[in-house]
Structures are given as structure tokens and as C-alpha cells.
Structure 1
């Protein structure tokens, strides 16, 4: 009776080992797997996504309502052709041209907001042709695609080009000799020095908000070059007193 009992126990062990072997997955693929165990079908869910799906997860910003969603628009963090010393930029590498073209075509009401400032001809400018300014300047019209708003934040400015008709031309005047001495035809009073300073105005232009939609914003525009003067502290410190025009006239008497 002992031998048949051992045979039965051995047979049971073999059956258990065979079932455990069939329950193991046969490949290394991830996802959902179906296994059989003692004639029962169970579904095992592998929670870790495939590594390829993790690598292909795109984190770039995409503007809403984009018909193709194939050209994601990145944040404004590329200034290779822009200078932080100048508040406007005509060349913006990340400018969302295709997205804005679609948005503007769907909202033609914005059409009346576009146009370009005109620079007056020399013959029509105020003053005589032989007038000389103590601070020389350059006047021209530009079409910026990026600029610093009144809060010193860089924002896109809508300028699609003449072909689309959505342009915003801005007349600017910039100093030729910024922070240089003014061109006075003579000598300055002792104790004073001059410099050419850039002046600015604030102007509303059609910009782009964080959702990719047109919205007005206020931008800093170079408008004039003016001469400023102040007392030369280095000169005054050497003589130990302050000179003013009134003091000089009093001494002459």
C-alpha cells in the first residue's frame, strides 16, 4: 500500500509544477496579459507604461483651436535675434505665424486695427531744412513681432506681413549717439555736462495672450532723442563749491 500512495503524491507534484509553468508570461512585452491557472482565466494589468511612451510624451505648449496641432508653439524664451537693451524686435524665431493666420481669418473684425505709421518727408517736417539738433536721431517705421510691454514682459506683437494684410507699422525715433555729449556750438558753463537721452512713449498694439488669442497690450516705443544736462560732480568736488548760472552772473557784477 505504500508504493501506490507514493505514486499518487508524485503525480500531484508534477501537475502543480506544470500549472505553475504555464502561468508564467512567455515574453517581456508590457501591457495587459491573460494567463490560465487551474482552468481559470484571469487578467493581469501591468501598470508601468512602455518606456517608448514615456519618451514620446510631448510637453510643449500647443495653442487651442489649432487645426493641425503639428507645430507646437514654444514659450517666449528664444531671443537670439532680439536685444534686451531695445524694447522691440522685428525678428522673432518663435513667432506663431500659422496659428495667428488661422485665428485672424476667423475673426476679420481685427482687420480695422492694423496699419502703418507714416514718416513725414523732409520737406514737410516742422522747421527749416538747415536746423541743427543738439542730439541727432534716426526716424523710421518698423514692424515688430515681439516687444516689452509696460510691465517689462516680452510679448508677441501681431505682424503677419503685407501678404496677409495684418501689419502694425510703428514709427520710432532713436538716438544716433545715445548717452554721448550733445552737439552744442560752443562751450558749456563750467560745472555742467550734457548727454543725449532716449525718450519713450507707451502705445497700444494688438498682442497675443497666453492662450494664443489676440488681445491689446501697451508697449514701450522709442519716440525722441533729447539733450539733458546736469552738474558735473567731479568738477565741483575739485573746487569745493557749486557753480550755478545765477552765481556766475553775480560774480561778474
Structure 2
């Protein structure tokens, strides 16, 4: 038996075929070329770690994400979140070199604030007047060294070590603070007096290092530039004190003088 298709049957078949294929999802053509803004944003959000101070344990889907805290970011860009200053190796309260000196961080601070450069410079020595006064033959009883230093670590009034801004020698980085100091060659040693002390053995004479506080630009705990006072050697002086050991030995065989009575006789 042969089925005959009428024009109406063929028309109904094509309508049903079109209706069945139109409901299927169409495959989108692949994008060729530079990524769009939405694609870049999606890529950044998927790959770049988030910066959170109170991070959750996971994201919306329960997946763990890398957390970067502000302190670790500060270390990456050389901003000292906690200023750890090393101790100086010598006996003096300063040192001119430090392996942990934050050079790059200080350079950025100085470049951002050009007004700070006006406070920098170094001390100048007064002209020598020995020839004019005729005292070139004078000698000091305590020998010392006079020099200009550029400290990078120093001890402030609170006996706390801090970084001192001192770096560069040209116009770009030239932020130096030069301090003239006088340092004893033989601290706590005997004074160099020809013929011995005129005070005799009853006194001890020694060379003592003297200090002053100098105002210098430094870094606070936040890494910002602030002024502070630092202890610097200023002079070497000869000091004397009584020799109690000598007085004790000298007074052993002597009878002490009688004490005066405070009683009043009527």
C-alpha cells in the first residue's frame, strides 16, 4: 500500500521540523582577538590573590584561596612594617654602616618630600687660630681624634637605637647629616701630664669621653621621617677624683680627731 503525501501533509512536516530544531542551544563562535574587559576582569578575579585582614576560610564554593596580609605586602615593597635596628659593634653609641639600612625606602620618602632636603648638610670646622695666638706648642693632656661622621644608626635620649637618614653623595640622593665629633684615644686611661700629677697620689686623673645630643632626622616605627636627639661624642677631658685607697692606707696608723660634743654645759 503506497501512502500518498498531500501538500497539506508536507507543510505540516516542515513546521514540526523547524519547531524541533529552534529549541536547541546554538553554539557561540569562538572569540579571536584581544580579550574584552569582562574577560580580563574575570581572569584577574580568578588568578590574583585577595588582600584581606579578616579572611574567610574559603570562597563561595568552599575552595581555599591564598591570603596576603598587609605586613607581607609591606615587605615586598621595602616598607619596614617593624623597624628592627641592629646594635653597633663598637663602644660608641653610633655606627656609620648597617647591613639592614633601608636605603630604598628612605630614598622614596625623600623624593616625595623635597622640603626635607633643607635640613641636611654637615658641620664645618672653624678656621685654625693657633698661628695667630702663638699657642702652637700647647699640648692636651688627653689625646683625641676629631673627625666628621655620617651615622646611619644612633642611640637617642631614651637609649633606643634608631636608623638615621644618611645616604648618597650626589644631587639626586644627596641627603647627608655630617656631625663633627671628638673621640678619646684612651678613654678611662691616665691623663698625659709631664712629670706626673701636681695633685699627688691623693687623686686619680683619667681621660673621660664627653657627649652631647644632636638633633637629626630619623625613622619612626611606621617608617616615616621625624627629628630626634642622638648621643654623640663631643670632647675628651681630664677628670680627677680622690684616691680613697691611698687615703685608707695613709690613714691606718693615724688616730682620728676627737669628735666635738653637741652637749651644752650650763
TM-score clears 0.5: yes
TM class, shorter-chain normalised?
A: 0.5 to 0.7
- CA shift at 1:198, angstroms? 0.3
SS class of match (2:86): coil
Counterpart in the other structure of 2:189: 180
For the residues of structure 1 that align with 2:73 and 2:135, how far apart are their CA atoms? 54
Counterpart in the other structure of 2:213: 202
- CA shift at 1:58, angstroms? 8.5
| Cα gap change, 1:70 to 1:83, in 2 (>3 Å) | same
Task: Give the counterpart of 1:153 among 160, 170, 175.
Answer: 160
Q: How does 1:66-105 map to 2 (within 5 A)?
A: 69-73=76-80, 75-79=83-87, 82-83=88-89, 85-105=91-111
Q: How does 1:1-253 map to 2 (within 5 A)?
A: 45=62, 62=74, 69-73=76-80, 75-79=83-87, 82-83=88-89, 85-120=91-126, 128-163=135-170, 164-188=173-197, 189-240=200-251
Which one has the largest radius of gyration? 2
For the residues of structure 2 that align with 1:211 and 1:76, how far apart are their CA atoms? 11
- Which protein is richer in strand relative to its size? 1
The answer for unaligned runs of 5 or more in structure 1 is: 1-29, 33-42, 64-68, 242-253
SS class of match (1:226): strand
Instruction: Give the TM-score, by structure 2 length.
Output: 0.63
Residues 123 and 129 in structure 1, CA contact (< 8 A), matched pair in contact too: no
Give the alignment's Cα RMSD to 1 decimal: 2.8
| Cα gap change, 1:159 to 1:197, in 2 (>3 Å) | same
Instruction: Give the TM-score, by structure 1 length.
Output: 0.66
Aligned length: 190
- CA shift at 1:237, angstroms? 1.0
CA deviations 1:18-69 (Å, max 9, x no partner) are xxxxxxxxxxxx956xxxxxxxxxx7737xx58xx58x87956938xxxxx4
Residues 142 and 171 in structure 1, CA contact (< 8 A), matched pair in contact too: yes
| Cα gap change, 1:192 to 1:127, in 2 (>3 Å) | farther
The answer for unaligned runs of 5 or more in structure 2 is: 1-56, 253-266
For the residues of structure 2 that align with 1:232 and 1:61, how far apart are their CA atoms? 61
